[in-house]
Amino acid sequence: MTHHNGADVLSTKRSRYEVLSAEAVHDIESIGLPVPVQFQSAEDLKFTTWKTYKDELDTGGHTDIFGQNDSLVARDSGFSDVKNIVYPMKYLTAVSIIVCVLSNVYAIVAADLPLIFGQEDAVEVKGFLITTALGNSLFGEDSNFPMHRILPGLELVFLGILTVHLLILAVSALLFPLVSYQDEDYKQLVRWTSAAQLFWEVLPALTTFSCMKLLYYVTPSVFSTEAYNVSVEVQERYDAGQRLKGVRIMLWYICSRSFFLLLGFDAFLVKFRIAEAVMNGEDYHAKHAVLGAVFLFQVLSIVNLNVFVRERLFLFLFAGEDGKLSLDEQCRKDIWQALLARQMFRELGYVKGLVALISFDDYDYQMLVLDSSQKAGSHTASACQSRAPSETISRERSMLIEV
């Protein structure tokens, strides 16, 4: 049997996926050395980690699992890492997002306009709809609400509102500092808050927009989270003696979510019938393939995971233990986004900055927000120097909110 020297084994360069043989592990342990983590098998590492932290918790009543990650919240708010946020794959991501926006807008307009105006090339989408059944039960069978036309009309109206909002934000980001006579700092605030909202709220909404997105608000995970927040707010109103306002908030939540469920489900039925008609038709064109693919993408994106994860990350970082953004916390979140957008253009230039804004995702968020303990330590001195005025502003803002 060949015996391994412990020092030789420790100095050997190995892949992170390699493990030592049982003989090598025995030889290392026999000379009193611990087996390095990178040389342990997955099962052995899991057992060793379990035993270590379990014993610490049972003995001392606490254990620091999170501290072993060697990661801390960035003391510089992540701005020093902006220069590393763009890599070749980001260009493809940015282009794909723009293509999704254009394809989605085209598919909605191409499918909805013929239905609204009853054109000859419009597909047949009549059939059972919950809203039509409710309308007929309330106003009689002869009322015959044309929901198969009303729903596409509402979708185009919402799409128009979203598009106008995007254009307003674009104009504000580009032209407001040039035409406004306000203070220079206020001009920059409007420019970069508009840019952040445009690229991180409105543009992602356009990639997957449809009336089916109303179902997002009644999915179990979103509905339960919002219901909890509403119940907390209603309880606060009751405790403050504002019972009528609390009741109004609760009624609005219940009525709005019921409306979203009915309208979103009917929108799904109409969209499904459109997709079925164009995909099963005798004449098949590229337009039909686009409509079918966009429908599939719209259904899969009813719950937009990127937006959902980003919202949860913002709550995790800014909201604290209660998981609810106060006015002060919401303000800091918005300002962080605005400063980040400005820093992207400053550090990366116009082209790379635009790519970074369009393709920003939760991986970028994690890279910016977290630092290793050594890197975080290098920012401590500068952070301590600037903390005093920041804390003063925060205290003054809290006092104003309380008043």
Would you say 275 and 292 are in contact if contact means Cβ atoms under 8 Å apart? yes
Query: What letter would DSSP give residue 116?
Result: H
Q: How far apart are CA 403 and CA 399, in angstroms?
A: 6
Would you say 119 and 71 are in contact if contact means Cβ atoms under 8 Å apart? no
Would you say 202 and 165 are in contact if contact means Cβ atoms under 8 Å apart? yes
Q: Residue type for 382, please?
A: S
Q: How far apart are CA 65 and CA 50, in angstroms?
A: 10
For helices 184-197 and 147-179, give the axis angle rounded to 10 degrees.
150
Backbone angles phi, psi at 161, to 5 degrees: -60, -45
| Nearest residue to 148 (alpha-carbon basis) of 166, 167, 164, 130 | 130
Q: How far apart are CA 382 and CA 384, in angstroms?
A: 5
Under DSSP, is residue 253 helix (H, G, I), strand (E, B) or coil?
helix
Per-residue pLDDT of the chain (403 residues; tens, 9 = 90+): 444 444 443 444 344 434 555 566 556 556 555 556 555 567 777 777 787 878 888 888 777 776 666 667 778 888 888 888 999 999 999 999 999 999 999 888 988 888 887 754 555 666 778 877 787 777 766 666 677 788 888 899 999 999 999 999 999 999 887 877 778 888 899 999 999 999 999 999 899 888 888 898 888 888 888 888 888 888 888 888 888 888 999 999 999 999 999 989 988 988 888 888 777 766 667 777 888 888 888 888 887 777 778 888 888 888 877 777 777 788 888 999 999 999 999 999 999 999 999 999 888 888 888 877 555 555 554 544 444 444 444 444 443 334 3
Q: How far apart are CA 148 and CA 112, in angstroms?
A: 10
Would you say 201 and 337 are in contact if contact means Cβ atoms under 8 Å apart? no
Would you say 226 and 253 are in contact if contact means Cβ atoms under 8 Å apart? yes
Would you say 312 and 366 are in contact if contact means Cβ atoms under 8 Å apart? no
Tokens at residue 295, please?
A: 């429908």
| Nearest residue to 145 (alpha-carbon basis) of 129, 166, 161 | 129
4 φ/ψ sector (left φ>0, alpha ψ -120 to 50, else beta): beta
Backbone angles phi, psi at 73, to 5 degrees: -65, 130
Query: What letter would DSSP give residue 366?
Result: H
Q: How far apart are CA 38 and CA 202, in angstroms?
A: 45
Cα distances from 55 to residues 4, 32, 50, 171, 248, in angstroms, run 31, 21, 8, 60, 52
Under DSSP, is residue 71 helix (H, G, I), strand (E, B) or coil?
strand
Alpha helices per DSSP H over 198-242: 203-207, 220-239
Classify each residue of 368-379 as buried b or exposed e, where b means 16 or more C-beta atoms within 10 Å of its C-beta: bbbbeeebbeeb
Chain centroid, CA 175 distance in Å? 28
**Number of H helices and number of E strands within the chain?**
16, 2
Would you say 101 and 163 are in contact if contact means Cβ atoms under 8 Å apart? no
